[in-house]
Structure 1
Amino acid sequence: MFLLRPDKPETEQDEAMFDASYKLFCERIIRQRLLVNNEVLRMGQLRQAFIDMVKANEGVDASNYRQDLLKKRLAQDFPQLAFHMPTKRNVCELVFAETLSKDALVDMLPDPSGTETTQSSELSQTDSDNETGRTKCQTTHEDTRTLYTAALFLKRLLSDTPGMSCPWPPTSENVNVTESQTVVPIGLYNLLSWIIGSTEEPTLDHYVNIDDDVHLKVLSVCQDIVYLASKGRKQTPKSLALGLTVRHLTGSSRIVSLLNRLGHCASWDTVLSLDTSLAQLTLVEVSHHS
């Protein structure tokens, strides 16, 4: 009878087999996302991400890798992690840094309506994209909260914007580029400039400096937003000047109405009223000079 050395327990075999992928998984997801970015992830997400990483790096199907085994390894290697089992049965165990405050934890909680399979796939896809040099935009709860907060801030700015303050009818002195900037909040103008990559100057103290040709385009879009946010109650130099110009060039109410429906200019009635008022103002000025 031969004395055989007993096989290593299944746990040790699995750990040795996937050790390289486990180290990569810990570096990219545990350290970066949980400890540095202070994210909150589900245990099911982490398991699926680990399985995907093993497949991508070692070409091995690790779908049988148990979740409790991965949790045990993480608990041993990262004592600063906290594991929390929600009261709802259909919600997987949550994993996060124990230093995360209660308020921050609430803000970072993953959406309970999302499925683990989809979220896990997105989690691993991020790493796959980074490996191949490709980038993919993924929206997190923090991203949504940041964008929504920014939107509310801009909504308040737009609400406080008085619009054109000149008397009716506005003349050429009131419908130019310089006057256009006065109806556009600095926050809105700078945000669009940042979005399109025209500047990286982080300030709300003044309008950021961008190229003149881009400046006109940004100013045009900003005026459309001002007009749209007020539901057409706040006219802008663009909404009036464009409508009046198109009327004089084409005389077509259909074209002006089309541009109005797209949010680019004032309505046909407003343009017609402006044209009439300007004509009357001209007659008054002529009569005063004669």
Structure 2
Amino acid sequence: MKCCIHVASKAKSPITSFSETSWASFVQCAQKWVNLNTAESFVAEKAIATFNLTETWRDQDVPVNVGFHRECYMLFTNKDHIARACRRREKAAKDTEAQLLPEEVDDDTPSKVRVLRSASDGPSLPKRASHLLPVGCLICRKNQYITDSHSRKRSKEKLAQCETLTAGKLLLAAEERRDESLLMHIRGRDLVASEAMYHLSCYRRYTRHLPKIPREGNPESNPYQAGYTHFCKSVVEERLLRNREVLRLSWLNGLFKKIVKEKEGVDISSYKAFSLKARLQKSHPFLRFLKSSRNYLVYVDDLTADEVIHDEATQPSSSDHSEDDTEEDTEPSHIGAGQGTKDSRLLYHAAMSLREIIETKCKTTPKLPWPPTAQDLQMDTASNLVPNELYNVLSWTTGMTTEFRTDGLCANVSVENNLKIVSLCQDIMNLTMRGRWLMPKHSSLAMAVRHTTGSAQLIGILNGLGHCSSNSQVLEHDTALAELQLQRGDTYIPPNITVQVQATLVWDNNDFGEETLSGKGTTHSTNENKEKVSSTTSRPY
């Protein structure tokens, strides 16, 4: 026996045989469902054809070879579902009739069926007054969610209310897309008075393919076009392209002002060289602008460096032009006073080269193992991590030595000063790598301060000045060392203990009352001291 209704796909109840009452309800509902064009309609058609449910069905016996799931029977005989399906059918019939009404059009114009709001696809929006559009996004007609970049929390995107009659480029985009579902809401309406709303993200996606609308009231994007055209033909094409000359931007700006005054009769003495540079870059992208001591050198991109340097000395003087053509007016200053001097430029390039050397050294040198032990925090390890170039620069800068070496090795410095120079080098490398590179000085100094004073605040002060690691990193280091010792087992013998030699064992209870941020996590340990017996003296290990 099988279910002859089966409209509930997840029905799990046992199949029940029809009684006279249930069979009568099933037949009556089937006669109602058969003309409603739904999933239940196919079940009704099949049942009517199989069991010959005509007007004389009451005289027939109830079939015994079929039954029903309880869930399927409840869905199929639900009177509310049948009523809603009837209403949907009546509404669809009215919409179809309204769409087929003839319109007054020319004989040559083909008839066009106008899409109604009630027949549009997508979820419906809450209704308001007749002259107002529904509250919701006109484009997506649903809620959009955005994620905060910092907290990573999701929240509903707020709706933006339209402030122009055509919603900016929304009407134009809808017309190009031929989106009738949107045009029926916004075509021929005052969107400001209708209080149209949309999500900004939906608006950007919907109008992305359209070009930018020029702002009203802006000056002409290409002013002095006649003078600029003559300037390009007589100067750019003749001298820069054909004669392969290298010209100063300030001199070109002065010549452009002169040409505009001759051709258009307009005095543009306030025209900045930076504006001319931007215009030349847009119209002649093959031009290159090299920043010299006080100005830009303009030349074509296929000139070599030797040709540019050779031609720089033969450039026209810009002293005849106003002071507005100087470097300070061509571009905003980012370095400060004295940036164009020879010494500053030399120091700048030296600093950039030194920074590149430090980054290369950090990328090519293996990092310290974790956790770093006493053997990894020796002076030799720190000296190997420091680039020789950085060491020599600091030695010369601080006056520790004046020796100039060409073999790439470190300069000769006394042992006391060598310790200070290597310390400074590690601070510079740690600052350059933004603390991502663990240096021996920072790890060992932080651990020494923790064991000596136990002050978390002192470690924080030194870390803020860039002298050692942070307190949290010291705690991680200490924990990692303890875990490493546990991994070695109970029978581990330190490397400085000699086997089969008489020794004296001393035990003591050491409680460190170190200062922590929370007042908890202080150290309580029992230490063991081994002393080897010698004929003269005993040396602790």
The interval holding the TM-score normalised by the smaller chain is 0.5 to 0.7
* Equivalent of residue 251 in structure 1, options 441, 450, 454: 454
Q: Does 2:447 correspond to 1:241? A: no
Instruction: Look up the SS of the partner of 1:84 in the other structure.
Output: coil
Q: Is 2:361 the counterpart of 1:90?
A: no
C-alpha offsets along residues 149-191 of structure 1, whole Å, 9 cap, x if unaligned? 1111111011112366232111111101111112211111100
| CA drift at 1:85 | 4.0
Partner of 2:342: 142
Match of 1:169? 371
1:196 maps onto 2:398 in alignment: yes
Distance 2:399 2:411 in 1: 12
Which whole-Å CA distance do the structure 1 matches of 2:413 and 2:449 have between them? 28
Q: How does 1:1-290 map to 2 (within 5 A)?
A: 84-86=317-319, 88-90=321-323, 112-113=327-328, 141-162=341-362, 165-203=367-405, 205-289=408-492
Q: Shift of the alpha carbon at 1:201?
A: 2.0
Aligned pairs, number: 170
Give the distance between the partners of 2:416 and 2:340, measured in 1 at CA: 35
Report the CA distance shift for 1:87/1:173 in structure 2 as closer, same or farther (over 3 A): farther
Q: Decide whether the 8 Å contact of 1:224 with 1:264 is kept in 2.
A: yes
In structure 2, relative to structure 1, the CA distance for the partners of 1:209 and 1:139 (3 Å cut) is farther
User: Cα distance 1:184–1:144, how it changes in 2: closer, same or farther (>3 A)?
Assistant: same
Write the distance in 1 (CA, Å) between the matches of 2:418 and 2:317.
Answer: 51
| Stretches of structure 1 lacking an aligned partner (at least 5 in a row) | 1-81, 93-110, 115-137
Displacement after TM superposition at 1:259 (Å): 0.6
More helix by share: 1
Deviations 1:78-135 (A, max 9, x none): xxxx99343531279xxxxxxxxxxxxxxxxxx8549xxxxxxxxxxxxxxxxxxxxx
8 Å CA contact 1:192–1:218 kept in 2: the answer is yes
**Residues 89 and 181 of structure 1, relative CA distance in 2, 3 Å threshold:** same
| Structure 1 length-normalised TM | 0.53
Secondary structure of residue in 2 paired with 1:199: coil
SS in 2 for 1:287: coil
Check 1:224–1:268 CA distance in 2 against 1; reply closer, same or farther (3 A cut): same
Q: Secondary structure at the match of 2:381?
A: helix
Residue 377 of structure 2 aligns to a residue whose secondary structure is coil
Q: Residues 245-286 of structure 1: CA distance to partner in whole angstroms, max 9, x if unpaired?
A: 101111111111111110001111111111111122223334
Q: Distance in 1 between matches of 2:413 and 2:492?
A: 44
Counting aligned pairs with the same residue, the percent is 35
TM-score, scaled relative to structure 2: 0.29
Q: Is the 8 A contact 2:368 2:438 kept in 1?
A: no
Relative to 1, partners in 2 of residues 1:241 and 1:272: Cα closer, same or farther, differing over 3 Å? same
Distance 1:289 1:256 in 2: 32
Distance in 2, matches of 1:210 and 1:268, equals 33
| Cα pair 2:405 2:411 within 8 Å, conserved | yes
The structure whose RCO (Cα within 8 Å, separation 6+) is larger is 1
Distance 2:379 2:366 in 1: 13
CA distance in 1, matches of 2:441, 2:360: 19
Higher strand content, 1 or 2: 2
| Superposed CA RMSD | 2.8
The runs of 5 or more residues in structure 2 that have no matched partner are 1-314, 330-337, 494-541
